Structure 1
Amino acid sequence: MFSSPLVLQIPSSMQMTDEQFFEFCQVNHDLRIERNKFGELVIMPPTGSETGNREGNIFGQLWVWSEQDGTGITFSSSTGFKLSTGAERCLTTSHSVSTPDASWIKLERWNSLSAEQQRKFAPICPDFVVELKSPSDNLQTLKEKMEEYMKEPGIQLGWLIDRKHRQVYIYRSGLPEECLNNPASVSGELILPGFILNMSKVW
């Protein structure tokens, strides 16, 4: 089993439409597949047990807050979103599809989509995204991914968590990256009022 992402380059004559890519992911549902801004397919390795546990804890804390808050909904790491920057930066007509480890969208934005859009890879970037670096991930690649998120309309806040170095990189729309060293908790600020991620369960 591979331990780092597999990047498959697809000839321009064989690029899949958004519909074909969605179907491709459905028939390969055991794989976590993304499509980047260059039209390449990125097959992510299975998450290790420890990383999966920490990822689940992050999602769990976010879900509990979201259920109490009631102004939006949460999504797990198996959720794909169709991003607009892929279409703008790619020579094909396909969009990039990304799967953050945990995310949250305001209800009014989610409800503005049609039922068909919600059923597939929703053409929307979450208001809030979290990426947890696994041992097989490259930090710079994840930073570039976070920067792509921040160019999307609608996104307001993003966290990139590096457990190995106990650092949390904070991304805010229109502002430079901020790095927190070994924080005990991280605040959702005004975007997710009242949400505090307890980092003791993540470290």
Structure 2
Amino acid sequence: MTEVSEATAVYGWSPTIPDEVVGQLLIPLPRDFEVTEDWWEWVRNENRHVRIELTPSRELRIAVVSNEGSFIAAQLMFQIQLWIRAGGGGMVLESAAAYDLPSGFRKRPDCSWVSPRQMPTAPRPWRQKFDIVGDFVVEVRSPGQSIRQQQEKMVEWIEGGVRLGWLIDPFERKVWIYRANGEVDELDDPTELSGEDVCSGLVIDMSRVWD
């Protein structure tokens, strides 16, 4: 369990997050509590065993970080990085990257790509969030999370300005493709995935993801 007494004294409030989270946990923020960058960074660093997001209704959305999801994200990042170095451009980020969406969400995908035109202009090191929206995001279903919950998260991404999103279910070997125009395709056990017109030329070999 996260120690809260010292953090409460420093920041005014700190969430109590259990060591084990089943499915999805919502923790409302106190009414007058102000989310600062220092507090946000502290909460994330103290609770690396879970993924923490902030909703427009001022709730912390907590979900488990799975080994399966981490493995899949790493495989995807490797293939995307090869495509970037071959001329695709931009940058690929893992789940530590947080995006502030126009709707008020602060979200963290398992994997994301930012196009060259969206690259941060500020010098590194960057803060823990980007005031941009990734062009392409990937979410991997975690144990205990329902498909419905994950699909709702994908809709949030598209409504926030993401141009292409993949929802990967490693348990059923399914992929849902979400596009900016609202179209959604469901694929059963695909052998490869295309970045389409968003990540032109990107082709992901799914055999390295599934196996």
Match of 1:140 in 2: 148
Alpha-carbon deviation of 1:169? 0.7
- Of the three residues 8, 19, 24, the one matched with 1:5 is 24
SS in 2 for 1:119: coil
1:163 aligns with 2:170: yes
- For the pair 1:186 / 2:193, whether they are aligned, the reply is yes
The offset of 1:198, in angstroms, is 1.1
For normalisation by structure 1, the TM-score amounts to 0.83
CA contact (8 A) 2:88 2:201 kept: no
- For residue 57 of structure 1, give the secondary structure of its aligned residue in structure 2: helix
Distance in structure 2 (CA, Å) of the matches to 1:163 and 1:195? 21
Could you tell me which of 155, 158, 165 is aligned with 1:150? 158
User: Take 1:24 and 1:116, find their aligned partners in 2: how far apart are those partners?
Assistant: 22
SS in 1 for 2:78: helix
1:25 maps to amino acid: R
Which deviates the most, 50-59 or 23-32?
23-32
Q: How many residues align?
A: 191
Contact in 2 for aligned 1:158/1:170 (Cα 8 Å): yes
Select 1:36's aligned residue among 45, 50, 55: 55
Contact 2:73 2:94 in 1 (8 A): no
What RMSD, in angstroms, separates the aligned Cα atoms of the two structures?
2.2
Structure 2 partner of 1:97: 106
Larger Rg: 2
3-state DSSP of counterpart to 1:84: coil
CA distance in 1, matches of 2:119, 2:157: 17
Distance (whole Å) between structure 2 residues aligned to residue 29 and residue 162 of structure 1: 22
Which one-letter code corresponds to 1:85 in the other structure? S
Residue pair 2:64, 2:142 contacting (<8 A) in 1 also: no
Letter in 2 for 1:55: A
Q: Separation in 1 of the partners of 2:84 and 2:124?
A: 24
Q: Give how far 1:16 is off.
A: 2.2
Is the CA contact (8 Å cut-off) linking 1:117 and 1:123 kept in structure 2?
no
Partner Cα separation in structure 2 for residue 120 and residue 192 of structure 1: 25
Q: Deviations over 1:90-143 (max 9, x none)?
A: xxxxxx21111111011221144x348942311111000011112222211111
The residue number in structure 2 matching 1:125 is: 133
> Which of 35, 40, 47 lines up with 1:16 in the alignment?
35
Answer whether contact 2:70 2:110 (CA < 8 A) is retained: no
Is the 1:58–1:202 Cα contact (8 Å) retained in structure 2?
Answer: yes
1:91 is matched with: none
Unaligned runs of 5+ residues in structure 2 are 1-19
3-state SS of 1:202 partner: helix
Q: List aligned pairs for 1:31-70, cutoff 5 A.
A: 31-48=50-67, 50-70=68-88
Higher helix share: 1
**Residue 151 of structure 1: CA displacement?**
1.4
Instruction: Report the alpha carbon displacement of residue 70 of structure 1 after superposing the two structures with TM.
Output: 4.5
Unaligned 5+ runs, structure 1? 87-95
